[in-house]
Structure 1
């Protein structure tokens, strides 16, 4: 591992120690809490939309979120390990068959909707096994 890779790994470990990043992919609806500095104050602002792209490049990983604001499509690229991203929450899982959803840019209304991904038995947590029934006592009589 060269010096640059070692530096990236150290920085990634330092940034992930303070917060956990949920597993999400293109098609998921996420709420990103962004730190906004206004003069002396710092506050968090929510940005909720559909993830249309994700780029995994180690420390430089980023994802693009698209939302509709007053009828206009707005896209924003967030660095995954940015200190300005306070929290990422998955609101809804989407079922898509593409890694990049750039085709959503030209669609509005019903054609821009994404079906919800349902949990299958393999991905869902295993349910507790039912307790075995008590053996019936045999009476002879």
Structure 2
């Protein structure tokens, strides 16, 4: 019973509808020593794993032509906000093929 109440409280967090291929921006709360700051992470959503409170997303971005992927638990208290910057049309559920592509080859068609 206690676990169900805890899960209900966590699932009340408002998360935007996320599609694979969307460009999203995640605002993270970072602690450095005794300071607290907000860090932004912008990238392409390449996978999503749904499992109630353990839902995770994998976001990929390129820094100096090096691909960086990060896995975020959506309902983590360290995630303050998630914004969808751009939605695209994508037919696959996992975009792992983007790891091999470089430059403008990994562009998708815009959603209307």
TM-score range normalised by the length of the shorter chain = over 0.9
Aligned twin of 2:44: 50
Where 1:103 maps in the other structure, the secondary structure is: helix
> TM-score, normalised on structure 1?
0.74
1:35 matched to 2:29? The reply is yes
Unaligned segments of structure 1, at least 5 residues:
119-141
Aligned twin of 2:9: 14
> TM-score, normalised on structure 2?
0.92
Per-residue CA shift, 1:90-114, capped at 9, x if unaligned? 0000110001000000001121112
Unaligned segments of structure 2, at least 5 residues:
none
Which of the numbers 63, 76, 81 marks the counterpart of 2:57? 63
Question: Once the 2 structures are TM-superposed, how far is the Cα of residue 117 of structure 1 from its aligned partner?
Answer: 1.2
Ranges of 4+ aligned residues in structure 1 off by more than 2 Å: 9-13
Matched positions, count: 112
Higher relative contact order (CA 8 A, sep 6+): 2
Structure number with bigger Rg: 1
Q: Contact conserved, 1:27 with 1:50, CA < 8 A, in 2?
A: yes
RMSD after superposition:
1.4
